[in-house]
Structure 1
Amino acid sequence: MADPTEKERLDVVEPKVAELLATTERLTLELHRVSERVLVLERRLSGTGWSGDEDLDEIDDQVRDTVAALRSAWDAEQELLADSVRVELRQEVAEFDSLRERQEAGQRKLAAGRITRFERDTIDHEVNNLEWQIEVRTPSAAQAAARLQSDAIAGEESWRREAVIAGEKARQEIRDAARRRVEYTLGSYRRPPVWFTIGLGEVSTPDPTPWLRAAIGLVAYRLEYGVRSPVTPLGDPPSPASGSSAWVRRYNTYTDLNAQLAALRP
């Protein structure tokens, strides 16, 4: 077999050389990125890497009107039921009404008289059982109906509707403000608050997206709900027990953020 020509040898070697060069370039870029990160960490550990402290949840002129709109929405939603609660209450009332309809239908059959003794005994037993269920569930159903009525009345108040709509707009604005604050803090090497560091730790790598999403959500949450704890990132856990739209939303947001922060911990 004849020895390979120079061109044939080059055809084999050149792709391998190109691959090695590309790999070297990638490793060089990664080494540069890691070196920069190590430098930042060294400066922070030595106390020379910060250009000052940053108050991420300060209510300044840039967010004061937005926060005021959120506070108004909070007050307005105290008398409004959360959608999930409203669905549950309507279901409870509907089930109670169904029991009464079944009881009345059975009573009409018994009153008609044109049934066998076996049918009468069966219907009579069912009617008595329904009567017991209705008696047990009457207080809860009455309370559910009253809450739905109060919710409907509150929902018709124009000032309340306007405040809720303004709050939805302000909620997006406060997230935008939170994003700007987080990005400024990172870009200027400002020292973040203790609660921020406790909650989030260092920026996650290689993909910082989950960390950034949690950071923005955390700052927005503290601004919206006035959390001022210097150590606890989310403050005290809220309770959704009232069923109001305001408290259920806060509880859901708290739960979601708490899960995001937990996912960042090693």
Structure 2
Amino acid sequence: MGFKEIQLTNTEADNRYASYNKEGTQIVFESNRDGHWQIYTMGIDGEKQKRLINSTANDRRPKYSPYKNAIIFESDRNGTSDIFVYNLDSETLKQLPIDLDLNKHFPEFAPNGMEITFSAESKNGVSHFYKCSTNGKRLKKILADNYNNLAPNLSPRGDQLVYFSNKNTQAESNVIYTKNIITNEENRLTYFVNNSEYPSWSNIRGSRIVYSAKINDMLQPEIFIMRNDGTHKIQITYNDFEDILPVWSPNNINLLITGYRNKHYQICKILLKEPLSPDQKALD
């Protein structure tokens, strides 16, 4: 059962947080192969892997812009975790001047390319969500409570967040929620007995969400897909080792995941048009 997998990295170091550019022709990811976390790019089949920025800092969790040839990421080069944008065409780096004296994580461009979202670790150790313009202005808090909320991801229309949180579980496990940032309506998509993390909207219509979860008697998390209302959950990977951090290709026909392979985390591609069982159907 499951779908065909292609391993794209094979290093004696960890490689994580992979995602595509807008055309689906390049992949960006983080790796500690040089001793600390740095940002790398590669082709869609794992070729031409190269380090993008040379620094002595930890540069982490990169994501491409939906319109420009640019990457947003977090870095501790100033002693705290701040947000930076690197333009690949001009090879220029800038820090976003966000007026918030907190560690900032999980930055992403909004689908309109004009705003970003991120989580910020508050003084009491929980994380809240914010958005601002790509020049760091018009800062607005979009989700705040007394729980640890992580990895905000905007829907293609830009009106809903999907994320994971330990709210309503006595902080014992993470579950996945959506929140409409216009109406403030919130929905819970996964449940207490299953630890579910790192959700990501499918592209174009946002009709599906991919995520990692450890359910029932699983020893390690696997990759699942569900409809955006939390129904019709389908298991995608069946491995003996950890599978996490899934994201969609631009046309939704494959996934990039981080899988624990050969004693390290590696970037793998899951081909949703190539099921391993003849009884399975390819996912549209």
Relative to the length of structure 1, the TM-score reads: 0.20
Instruction: Kindly indicate which of the two structures has a greater share of residues assigned to strand.
Output: 2
Q: Which has the higher contact order (CA 8 A, sep 6+)?
A: 1
